[in-house]
Amino acid sequence: MNARTPTLRAALLGALAAMAAALPGAAAAAEQDEIIVQSTTSTANSGFFDQVLPQFEARTGIKVKVVAVGTGQALRNAANCDGDVVLVHAPRAEADFVAKGLGVRRHPLMSNDFVIVGPAADPAGIAGMRDAAAAMARIAAAGAPFASRGDDSGTHKAERRLWRAAGLDPDPATDRWLRELGAGMGATLNAAAGMGAYALTDRATWLAFANKADLRIMVEGDPRLLNHYGVILVNPARCPNVNAKAGQAFIDWLLSAEGRAAIAGARVHGAQLFRPAEPQEKTR
Amino acid sequence: MQEFTDAFGAAFALLASGDPELAEIVGLSLRVTLTAVAISCLVGMPLGALLAIARFPGRGAAAALLNALMGLPPVVVGLATYLLLSRSGPLGALGLLYTPAAMIIAQTILTLPLVAALTRQTIADLHAEHDETLRALGAGRWATALTLLHDGRFALTTAALAGFGRAAAEVGAVMIVGGNIAHATRVMTTAIALETARGELALALGLGMILLGISAAVNLAAMALRARAERAAHV
């Protein structure tokens, strides 16, 4: 008995010390004024937040923690009260979110555009087209591989709008050229690069993406490719845990002249990532 | 193949620059994973030992269930933990989601069955060997379990290291419950996933090499400790 006691006690003490070391982190985090923003991979992976958030944090002392998922998941997480602010890009789903009382109000924040990218060989012959729907129709007609997000994200919603605009309703079960990946934008672009497929991507992710391989921008400039971002405070009346004061301060700052300048100033490889919305723009 | 050369370069550059963000990420990875494994050992080893020794109806089924739990996909554990810790879930009031504590909980759920199952096997073998002696000494269940755990402590290092390996390698659970928040819940595996998504494949692979190095260091340290303890035990 005596021989083993020190070993067990040492193990016990070690484990307790490890747990004690782990706990203060959680406790300290709760004291600082901070908010959780449920957002999308396009804003996080492009380095947008890395450039904008320090300016807000320096101004207000409020720490912003970004969870980057697809728009669909961001809205679902926020519906579970897991977040204070939503910053996503699917105006219709956002309006629905507010209509259900889950969010307070949608503020148009900024925009950029989607582009259709594809392999340099361009098997569907769409390079340089202006009409995005016609380009999508041509990809379908050629049966050229198309890498789809397939994850109910804002980009996936935009892709489905384009198929509908082309008068198509492709089904990945029978249309084998349509490859639904169920993955984020970056993973989808990696896959598209690997299998020589076309893909729809937001320009911010594309600009920052380092593994382009032989993918090129094929179609851009169609007004239907505009990509609108909105920002919403999660409804504190429904979710008492929401840090409404700090969340609203973040939204107010983003919409202020200083915030708009910060948004316009975010760049990757010298290119502007997003265009701030006009201050008087009507809520969509 | 260029990626592999670049990855070595990226790994060396990161290490040489003493990047504070890398240190932060490595530190959190170790803190989360080692805490989870410590809790798993503390709970899972006695549990596994009792399961090896006790005779009760459904014992075989319990052992099979434990073995099956070893195969739980991390993403399922992450999702279940998310639903528990979500503000709208049963434990939402604790406010643990998107904190290191949530990641520790998820990794504990992930590693506990593995540690318990490996312990059960080790102790069952020892028990078959020493059962009669222990019974002759009149040892009860708990005393038997503790004696065998002590006897098998060197073999049990393997169970702890297997738990460490599973926790250090997983990304699915910590991604969901931690959220991969910069300077808060970003760990090695979620950083690798992020750099992959950014198309920074060489950097991602370089981080993977560093993670492998950390795992090797932890394993070497554990083996060295075990060797020293074994020498001390035989003096």
Q: Where are the domains of chain B?
A: 2-234
pLDDT tens digits along B158-180: 999 999 999 999 999 999 999 99
Instruction: Examine residue A149 and state whether it is found in any structural domain, yes or no.
Output: yes
pLDDT at site A283: 47
- How far away is chain A from the Cα of B198, in angstroms, using its nearest Cα? 5
pLDDT at site A18: 53
pLDDT at site A24: 46
Residues A167 and A269 in one domain: no
The percent of residues above 70 in pLDDT, for chain A, comes to 87
* Interface contact A67, partner B, CB < 8 A: yes
Instruction: Examine residue A176 and state whether it is found in any structural domain, yes or no.
Output: yes
pLDDT at site B112: 97
Higher pLDDT, residue A278 or A265: A265
pLDDT at site A251: 98
Last residue of a domain, one of A225, A245, A266: A225
| 3-class state of residue A131 by DSSP | coil
- Highest mean pLDDT of the ranges A14-18, A19-23, B23-27: B23-27
CA distances from B131 to B53, B57, B60, B141, B184 (A): 9, 20, 19, 11, 49
Residues A235 and A210 in one domain: no
CB nearest B34 (choices: A18, A26, A29): A18
Q: Taking a C-beta distance cutoff of 8 angstroms, is the pair B29, B188 a contact? A: yes
Residues A77 and A107 in one domain: yes
Confidence of residue A28 (pLDDT cuts 50, 70, 90): very low
Instruction: Examine residue A268 and state whether it is found in any structural domain, yes or no.
Output: yes
Average pLDDT over residues A93-98: 97
Between the CA atoms of A156, A158, A160 and A166, what dihedral angle is there, to the nearest 10 degrees?
A: -150
- How far away is chain A from the Cα of B40, in angstroms, using its nearest Cα? 10
Residue contacts between A and B (CB atoms, under 8 Å): 107
Do B42 and A11 lie within an 8 Å CB cutoff? yes
Query: Hey, how many other C-beta atoms are within 10 angstroms of the C-beta on B73?
Result: 12
Interface of B with A (CB under 8 A): 31-32, 34-35, 38-39, 41-42, 86-89, 92, 95-101, 104, 146-147, 150, 153, 179-182, 184, 194, 196-201, 229
CB nearest A65 (choices: B153, B181, B199): B181
Residues A209 and A82 in one domain: no
Please check the confidence at residue A282 and state whether its pLDDT lies above 90.
no
pLDDT at site B160: 96
| 3-class state of residue B86 by DSSP | coil
Residues A203 and A238 in one domain: no
Q: CA–CA separation, A202 vs A188, rounded Å?
A: 12
pLDDT at site A135: 98
Residues A214 and A270 in one domain: no
Nearest chain A residue to B79, by CA: A77
CB nearest A41 (choices: B34, B88, B197): B197
Q: Say what the ipTM of the complex is.
A: 0.86
Fold of B2-234: MetI-like fold (1.10.3720)
Q: Please name every residue paired with A65 in a beta bridge, in sequence order, or none if there are none.
A: A36
Residues A196 and A128 in one domain: yes
Q: What CATH number should be reported for the domain holding residue A55?
A: 3.40.190.10
Q: CA–CA separation, B126 vs A260, rounded Å?
A: 69
The total number of structural domains that make up chain A: 2
* Interface contact A256, partner B, CB < 8 A: no
Instruction: Examine residue A175 and state whether it is found in any structural domain, yes or no.
Output: yes
pLDDT at site A17: 54
Residues A172 and A213 in one domain: yes
Q: Taking a C-beta distance cutoff of 8 angstroms, is the pair B38, A18 a contact? A: yes
Do A81 and B88 lie within an 8 Å CB cutoff? yes
Q: Taking a C-beta distance cutoff of 8 angstroms, is the pair B124, B50 a contact? A: no
Provide the whole-model pTM.
0.88
B183-220 b/e (C-beta count within 10 Å ≥ 16 → b)? ebbbbbbbbbbbbbbbbbbbbbbbbbbbbeebbeebee
10 Å CB burial of residue A278 (0-12, 13-18, 19+) is: exposed
Query: Hey, how many other C-beta atoms are within 10 angstroms of the C-beta on A6?
Result: 9
Mutate to test the interface with A, among B87, B187, B225, B230 (most CBs of A within 10 A): B87
Please check the confidence at residue A278 and state whether its pLDDT lies above 50.
yes
pLDDT at site A31: 55
Higher pLDDT, residue A9 or B201: B201
Instruction: Examine residue A15 and state whether it is found in any structural domain, yes or no.
Output: no
Residues A256 and A232 in one domain: yes
Nearest chain A residue to B151, by CA: A4
Residues of B in contact with A194 (CB under 8 A): none
Helix locations, A150-235, DSSP H: 154-165, 185-195, 203-208
Residues A221 and A254 in one domain: no
Q: Among candidates B51, B67, B40, which has minimal Cα distance to B161?
A: B40
pLDDT at site A81: 97
For A120, the token pair is 């340099």
Q: Among candidates A208, A209, A180, A205, which has minimal Cα distance to A193?
A: A209
Q: CA–CA separation, A167 vs A277, rounded Å?
A: 31
Long-range contacts of B53-61 (CB under 8 A, 24+ apart): B53/B123, B53/B127, B53/B141, B53/B144, B53/B145, B53/B148, B54/B141
Q: What is the bridge-based pairing of β-strands A275-276 and A103-119?
A: antiparallel
Do B181 and A239 lie within an 8 Å CB cutoff? no
Regions in chain B scoring below 70 on pLDDT: 1, 235
For A148, the token pair is 């789809």
Residues A117 and A221 in one domain: yes
Q: CA–CA separation, A207 vs A268, rounded Å?
A: 7
Residue with tokens 């107010």: A252
Residues of B in contact with A67 (CB under 8 A): 98, 179-181
DSSP state of B34: H
**Domain carrying residue A76:** 30-112+228-276
Nearest chain B residue to A45, by CA: B198
Instruction: Examine residue A270 and state whether it is found in any structural domain, yes or no.
Output: yes
Do A68 and B199 lie within an 8 Å CB cutoff? no
Do A65 and B180 lie within an 8 Å CB cutoff? no
pLDDT at site A57: 97
Please check the confidence at residue A14 and state whether its pLDDT lies above 80.
no
Instruction: Examine residue A188 and state whether it is found in any structural domain, yes or no.
Output: yes
pLDDT tens digits along A211-262: 999 999 999 999 999 999 999 999 999 999 999 999 999 999 999 999 999 9
For A247, the token pair is 């969340």
Please check the confidence at residue A39 and state whether its pLDDT lies above 60.
yes
CA-based torsion, A156, A158, A161, A166: positive or negative: negative
- How far away is chain B from the Cα of A187, in angstroms, using its nearest Cα? 5
Q: Please name every residue paired with A159 in a beta bridge, in sequence order, or none if there are none.
A: none
- How far away is chain A from the Cα of B174, in angstroms, using its nearest Cα? 12
Residues of A in contact with B225 (CB under 8 A): none
Q: Taking a C-beta distance cutoff of 8 angstroms, is the pair B54, B141 a contact? A: yes
Q: What is the mean pLDDT of chain A?
A: 90
For B158, the token pair is 């393997």
* Interface contact A8, partner B, CB < 8 A: yes
Instruction: Examine residue A49 and state whether it is found in any structural domain, yes or no.
Output: yes
